[in-house]
């Protein structure tokens, strides 16, 4: 039994949520250590825009991807992980001063976009849009969640659709020398579904 439990720790557990040809988006129920190296490698693409602190480590993967309050998705192409997005309950970022200053901190209604990335060579194919769309759809249906927040470079949030507000701007974000804005997306009231279960497990797009 001990050997079986170690194997489970090393293997990831996920559900396919959307697929299109060789591309698919999976909801991560558990990220196993076997996938840590690829996730860290992909996160290195974030360093250019978000600073070295954005690069994942084994500790941050375990801390945020496998937390029950988080909402993590990965994107695969031909079976290889090529990107991911993770929403983290803002209360889980209580060590960050900006998180504690959020007007919704403590209300358990907000997910912070901790990381969102697609490897450079797969950009321009619409994969990032699909990944983001799945994330927002599931966030909207999660009990209690009303808002999605995040830090993006100045001006980026103006391209977002939906009800977006800018809470503040931060110069020299994480030592990058760039100005970032802290945005909030209002997901709106919950849809009036008679079925209260999660969205369908898989959808072809």
The ranges assigned to domains in the chain are 2-191
Residue linked to tokens 């470079």: 153
Q: Residue 102 to residues 76, 141, 151: CA-CA distances in angstroms?
A: 33, 22, 13
Residue reference for tokens 């901190």:
105
Fold of 2-191: Aminopeptidase (3.40.630)
Helix or strand (DSSP H, E) at 7: helix 2-10
Quote the mean pLDDT of the chain: 88
Per residue in 53-104, pLDDT (tens digit) is 889 999 999 889 999 999 999 999 999 999 999 999 999 999 999 999 999 9
Backbone φ and ψ of 186, nearest 5°:
-85, 115
- Kindly report the pTM of this predicted structure: 0.85
């Amino acid at each position: 039994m001990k050997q079986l439990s170690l194997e489970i720790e090393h293997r990831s557990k996920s559900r396919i949520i959307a697929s299109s040809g060789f591309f698919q988006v999976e909801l991560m129920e558990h990220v196993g250590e076997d996938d840590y190296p690829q996730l860290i490698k992909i996160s290195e693409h974030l360093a250019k825009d978000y600073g070295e602190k954005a690069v994942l480590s084994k500790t941050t993967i375990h801390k945020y991807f496998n937390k029950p309050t988080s909402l993590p998705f990965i994107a695969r192409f031909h079976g290889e992980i090529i990107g991911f997005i993770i929403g983290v309950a803002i209360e889980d970022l209580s060590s960050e001063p900006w998180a504690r200053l959020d007007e919704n901190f403590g209300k358990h209604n907000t997910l912070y976009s901790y990381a969102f990335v697609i490897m450079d060579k797969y950009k321009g194919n619409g994969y990032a849009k699909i990944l983001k769309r799945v994330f927002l759809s599931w966030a909207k249906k999660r009990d209690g969640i009303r808002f999605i927040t995040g830090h993006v470079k100045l001006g980026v949030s103006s391209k977002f659709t939906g009800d977006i507000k800018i809470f503040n701007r931060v110069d020299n974000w994480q030592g990058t020398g760039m100005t970032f804005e802290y945005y909030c997306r209002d997901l709106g009231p919950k849809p009036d579904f008679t079925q209260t279960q999660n969205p369908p497990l898989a959808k072809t797009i």
